[in-house]
Structure 1
Amino acid sequence: MSITSETFLVRTIVPIGVGFCGVMLVGTGITKLVDEKIKLKNSLLRKKMTEIL
Protein backbone atom coordinates (compact mmCIF):
# COMPACT_ATOMS: atom_id res chain seq x y z
CA MET A 1 0.00 0.00 0.00
CA SER A 2 1.49 3.30 -1.03
CA ILE A 3 0.48 6.81 -0.08
CA THR A 4 0.29 9.13 -3.04
CA SER A 5 0.93 12.82 -2.71
CA GLU A 6 -2.69 13.52 -3.72
CA THR A 7 -4.08 11.50 -0.81
CA PHE A 8 -1.67 13.19 1.56
CA LEU A 9 -2.73 16.62 0.30
CA VAL A 10 -6.44 15.84 0.75
CA ARG A 11 -5.89 14.54 4.29
CA THR A 12 -3.99 17.65 5.27
CA ILE A 13 -6.72 19.95 3.95
CA VAL A 14 -9.57 18.24 5.85
CA PRO A 15 -8.91 19.95 9.23
CA ILE A 16 -8.79 23.32 7.48
CA GLY A 17 -12.18 22.62 5.85
CA VAL A 18 -13.73 21.45 9.11
CA GLY A 19 -12.37 24.48 10.94
CA PHE A 20 -13.71 26.81 8.26
CA CYS A 21 -17.17 25.22 8.50
CA GLY A 22 -17.08 25.64 12.28
CA VAL A 23 -16.14 29.30 12.01
CA MET A 24 -18.91 29.88 9.47
CA LEU A 25 -21.44 28.14 11.74
CA VAL A 26 -20.44 30.22 14.77
CA GLY A 27 -20.45 33.41 12.69
CA THR A 28 -23.92 32.69 11.35
CA GLY A 29 -25.22 31.96 14.85
CA ILE A 30 -23.80 35.17 16.28
CA THR A 31 -25.24 37.17 13.37
CA LYS A 32 -28.68 35.61 13.94
CA LEU A 33 -28.59 36.36 17.69
CA VAL A 34 -27.57 39.98 17.13
CA ASP A 35 -30.29 40.39 14.49
CA GLU A 36 -32.95 39.05 16.88
CA LYS A 37 -31.69 41.36 19.64
CA ILE A 38 -31.94 44.40 17.35
CA LYS A 39 -35.44 43.41 16.21
CA LEU A 40 -36.58 43.00 19.82
CA LYS A 41 -35.09 46.35 20.82
CA ASN A 42 -36.80 48.10 17.89
CA SER A 43 -40.10 46.40 18.73
CA LEU A 44 -39.95 47.50 22.35
CA LEU A 45 -39.03 51.03 21.29
CA ARG A 46 -42.00 51.22 18.90
CA LYS A 47 -44.32 49.89 21.60
CA LYS A 48 -43.05 52.51 24.05
CA MET A 49 -43.44 55.28 21.47
CA THR A 50 -47.06 54.28 20.72
CA GLU A 51 -47.84 54.29 24.44
CA ILE A 52 -46.44 57.80 24.76
CA LEU A 53 -48.43 59.09 21.79
Structure 2
Amino acid sequence: MAQGTVKWFNDSKGFGFIVSDSGEDVFVHFSTIQGDGYKTLREGQVVEYESQQGPKG
Protein backbone atom coordinates (compact mmCIF):
# COMPACT_ATOMS: atom_id res chain seq x y z
CA MET A 1 0.00 0.00 0.00
CA ALA A 2 1.33 3.44 -0.95
CA GLN A 3 1.57 6.41 1.38
CA GLY A 4 1.20 10.12 0.69
CA THR A 5 0.03 13.48 2.01
CA VAL A 6 -3.23 15.23 1.16
CA LYS A 7 -2.40 18.23 -1.03
CA TRP A 8 -5.98 19.55 -1.04
CA PHE A 9 -9.53 18.22 -0.85
CA ASN A 10 -12.72 20.10 -1.80
CA ASP A 11 -15.59 18.90 0.41
CA SER A 12 -18.30 20.48 -1.74
CA LYS A 13 -17.02 18.88 -4.96
CA GLY A 14 -15.96 15.62 -3.30
CA PHE A 15 -12.47 15.29 -4.73
CA GLY A 16 -8.88 16.37 -4.31
CA PHE A 17 -5.27 15.29 -4.67
CA ILE A 18 -2.73 13.36 -2.65
CA VAL A 19 1.02 13.86 -3.18
CA SER A 20 2.65 10.43 -3.17
CA ASP A 21 5.95 9.86 -1.37
CA SER A 22 7.56 9.78 -4.85
CA GLY A 23 6.17 13.27 -5.62
CA GLU A 24 3.33 12.36 -8.01
CA ASP A 25 -0.12 13.95 -7.70
CA VAL A 26 -2.80 11.29 -7.23
CA PHE A 27 -6.51 12.10 -7.77
CA VAL A 28 -8.87 11.02 -4.96
CA HIS A 29 -12.69 10.93 -5.03
CA PHE A 30 -14.80 10.88 -1.85
CA SER A 31 -16.45 7.59 -2.87
CA THR A 32 -13.12 5.77 -2.45
CA ILE A 33 -12.47 6.97 1.12
CA GLN A 34 -12.81 4.12 3.59
CA GLY A 35 -14.21 4.77 7.04
CA ASP A 36 -17.40 5.59 8.87
CA GLY A 37 -19.21 8.91 8.78
CA TYR A 38 -18.55 11.91 6.55
CA LYS A 39 -15.93 11.09 3.91
CA THR A 40 -13.40 13.88 3.71
CA LEU A 41 -9.65 14.48 3.96
CA ARG A 42 -7.68 17.31 5.57
CA GLU A 43 -4.82 19.16 3.90
CA GLY A 44 -1.54 17.78 5.26
CA GLN A 45 -3.13 14.52 6.46
CA VAL A 46 -0.91 11.46 5.89
CA VAL A 47 -2.84 8.65 4.21
CA GLU A 48 -2.33 5.14 2.87
CA TYR A 49 -3.96 4.30 -0.45
CA GLU A 50 -4.15 1.86 -3.31
CA SER A 51 -4.11 3.45 -6.75
CA GLN A 52 -5.89 2.14 -9.81
CA GLN A 53 -6.42 3.34 -13.36
CA GLY A 54 -9.79 4.93 -13.99
CA PRO A 55 -11.51 5.50 -17.33
CA LYS A 56 -9.83 8.92 -17.63
CA GLY A 57 -6.35 7.76 -16.65
More helix per residue = 1
What TM-score, normalized by structure 2, do the two folds share? Answer: 0.15
Larger Rg: 1
Of structures 1 and 2, the one with the larger relative CO (CA 8 A, separation 6+) is 2
More strand per residue = 2
What TM-score, normalized by structure 1, do the two folds share? Answer: 0.16
